Amino acid sequence: MISGRVKHLKRGDNVVALSGSHKGRSGKVLEVNQGKALVKIDGLGVVKKHTKPSQANPKGGIIDMNRWLPACKFQLCDDSGKALGRVGFKMEGSDKKRVSTKAKK
């Protein structure tokens, strides 16, 4: 299993899949698991889960949920999902700012 810290993605970023069955599709990052280098992307990796009845869900049933996907398979993109970019950091005074740079092809 891949381990390490996810430095290039944050919650709320728009990303595009670089490989796998979702290649070329884009979505928004919902969650990041730093310890296992995994992310949940809105609309990608949706699976159905069978749930037993509980107090929160008295009927039980089948729910759709996002599964964890490897963070290394995703790259930051703009809102349109077309222009890929990398994440860089810039110092402004004593503050470290996160900036997106478009990759040159």
Q: Which long-range contacts (CB under 8 A, 24 or more apart) does 39-46 make?
A: 39/6, 39/9, 39/15, 39/68, 39/69, 39/70, 39/71, 39/74, 40/66, 40/67, 40/68, 40/69, 41/15, 41/17, 41/66, 41/69, 41/74, 42/66, 44/17, 44/69, 45/69
Task: Identify the pLDDT of residue 81.
Answer: 66
Decide if pLDDT at 103 tops 70. no
What structural domains does the chain harbor?
A: 14-53+61-102 (2.30.30.30)
The predicted structure's pLDDT at residue 98: 83
pTM: 0.78
**For the segment 43-99, what is each residue's pLDDT rounded down to a tens digit?**
998 999 999 999 988 999 999 999 999 999 999 887 776 778 888 888 988 998 888
